[in-house]
Amino acid sequence: MKLKLLKKNKRFWKGIWKLKTPGKIKHFLWKSYTNSLHTRENLLKRTILHDPLCHLCAKEPENVLHALDSKVSRGRSTVKKKWSPPVLDSFKTNFDGAMFNESDDVGIVVVILNSAGKVMAALSEKIEEPPSVMTCELLAARRAVQFTIEMGFRLSSFEGDSETNRTCFAEGRVNELRHSHADAIEN
């Protein structure tokens, strides 16, 4: 019986690896199947996080099944919204952090625009891999503030795409972010 299942499993994965689809999709399937995704539950096991609860629903531990559940994952989607310029005579600093699964590269991008939408300064940097996407976004936010000051733009608003970070900043819960990602952002 066990041998029969192993042969079926082997055929299944051979079929997956032969699919004409990007490698990142195949790797995502493999990581999901082997419980290797960076879920909060797995990060807790590696002592990177102290709380396994899903940050979206705050009711259940975030494991692979929970993270892929349609009700929960709907909340993960980033909302696409139209860019709006800053007020006259000021600037807007847009920033983002990105983790690329295929190459294990991690980078941040910062773009400072004037009220006409003209790029005044831009920055792209590779950084050491942080423990989570949220930490990557926090590092991008920190670097955006530093870069804006370095470039001499004093009147600037900041915009990133991390809903969780934006909510914590808006609600004055910056300490919550700082403590949960202290190791990565202290340097």
Residue 106 lies in a domain: yes
pLDDT at 187 over 50: no
Q: Could you identify the residue written with the tokens 């990557």?
A: 136
**pLDDT computed for residue 120 by the predictor:** 92
What pLDDT is attached to residue 113?
92
Query: In the structure encoding, which two tokens stand for residue 122, read together?
Result: 């831009």
- Please report whether residue 85 resides in a domain: no
Helix (H, G, I), strand (E, B) or coil at 134: helix
In terms of pTM, does the model score above 0.95?
no
CB neighbours of residue 56 within 10 Å: 17
Last residue of a domain, one of 13, 48, 76: 76
In a domain, 81, yes or no: no
Closest residue by Cα to residue 138 from 114, 115, 106, 90:
106
Say if residue 58 is in the same domain as residue 100: no
Q: What is the mean pLDDT of residues 103-113?
A: 84
**65 part of a folded domain:** yes
In one-letter notation, the amino acid at residue 30 is: W
CATH number at residue 115: 3.30.420.10
At 182, the pLDDT band (50, 70, 90 cuts) reads very low
For the cut 80, the answer to whether the pLDDT of residue 71 exceeds it is: no
CB neighbours of residue 143 within 10 Å: 19
User: What average pLDDT does the structure give for the chain?
Assistant: 76
Count of CB atoms situated within 10 Å of the CB of 123: 18
CA distance 108 to 131: 15
Last residue of a domain, one of 76, 99, 122: 76
Burial of 74 from C-beta contacts in 10 A (0-12 / 13-18 / 19+): exposed
Mark whether 100 and 143 lie in a shared domain: yes
Q: Which of 30-39, 86-95, 97-106, 129-138 has the highest mean pLDDT?
A: 86-95
